[in-house]
Amino acid sequence: MFPTSSLTISTNFSISSTKKLHHHHHHHHHPTILFSNSILKSNKVSPTIPASSCCYLTVSSSKFKNTLSRFGGGIGSLQVCHNSLNSQNDVPPPKQPESTGTGRDWTTSILLSILFAALMYYVFFLTPNQTPTRDMYFLEKLLNLKGDDGFEMNKVLVSLWYIMGLWPLVYSMLLLPSGRSSESKIPVWPFLVLSFFGGAYALLPYFVLWKPPPPPVDEAELGRWPLNFLESKLTAGILTAAGFGIITYAGLADADVWKEFYQYFRESKFIHVTCLDFTLLSTFAPFWVYNDITARKWSDKGSWILPLTLIPLLGPAFYLVLRPSLSASSTINEASED
């Protein structure tokens, strides 16, 4: 029901009435009054009425009182019935869902694409390639495809080779599940598998396509492979200990070994590309540590560890040991809803 309200209406409006049809023999024009939503709103009368409801409005103008009385209306009052057809225009439109704003700007993807293209050009056309035969020999030795022929491999090169085998595990623990992409629908696991062979060169295309937030994780998924392995503190502890041992082994090498390795870097395509791969993985790791900290709602307590992640391999591995265990109800689900 409308509340009773005083209305002042000018005489150039008209009121539609069936009684007007019975007075068609009159020669003078009968003014009619059209009530619109704007009139009702201007007089603080709610325009939204159920389709079957009616209300009475008091009219303060004496001219309209006389006019209404000739058409059968009550003196000084007007019965207004709401039309169901008009009500469709009165109902406010439904709210559009607001964007979460968690997606990533495409500018980042474009810059990463340019970086990837530049790296591929450098790797294939600009890297030194003076010793392809020796490169093949080193690769066979590192893969244990050659027996003991009396040649002692460079200790720094051996350390770099084994460290490159640990980096894909570090990235697997950082990207699953907090680094998964829900917006672009691109799975991360194929890129992680390829990273065991191609390193950062295999991960960069995923970085280009990645669009947060990560999809929700349920408790059942946390108990299955591979999350139960990647979330294990035992896995993180073994990874950290192995990385510390390998880096210590390289650090204890004397200066001549390091000079020899530098000479290899300048001449060998294989070693040059591997060193560049190590640098890329070390550079991107702090970002993915930060992303994982945010997904686990650990920013207030774990932000102090971010500077340590600048230490190649050991910094991110140390974070994996200290990070809180993943809980589907309190971390990834909330991160995807924010």
Identify the pLDDT of residue 104. Answer: 61
Q: What span, in angstroms and rounded, lies between the C-alpha atoms of 91 and 299?
A: 44
pLDDT at 136 over 80: yes
More confident residue, 70 or 257: 257
Average pLDDT estimate for 204-228: 87
307: DSSP letter: G
DSSP H or E stretch at residue 119? helix 106-121
Q: What span, in angstroms and rounded, lies between the C-alpha atoms of 155 and 33?
A: 98
pLDDT at 333 over 80: no
Asked whether 298 and 324 are in contact (CB, 8 A), the reply is: yes
Identify the pLDDT of residue 175. Answer: 95
Could you report the per-residue pLDDT of 76-128, keeping only the tens digit for each? 444 444 444 444 444 554 444 333 334 567 899 999 999 999 999 999 999 99
Q: What span, in angstroms and rounded, lies between the C-alpha atoms of 275 and 258?
A: 14
- CA geometry: angle at 331 spanning 329 and 334, to 5°? 80
Q: Kindly list the domain boundaries of the chain, sorted by start residue.
A: 6-90, 106-337
Could you report the per-residue pLDDT of 27-85, keeping only the tens digit for each? 444 444 444 444 444 444 444 444 444 444 444 445 444 544 444 444 444 444 444 44
The DSSP bridge partners found for residue 7 are 59
CA atoms within 13 A on the CB side of 209: 14
Could you report the per-residue pLDDT of 152-187, keeping only the tens digit for each? 999 999 999 999 999 999 999 999 988 988 767 789
Identify the pLDDT of residue 172. Answer: 97
Identify the pLDDT of residue 221. Answer: 82
- CA geometry: angle at 310 spanning 177 and 244, to 5°? 85
Q: What is the mean pLDDT of the chain?
A: 76
Asked whether 168 and 199 are in contact (CB, 8 A), the reply is: yes
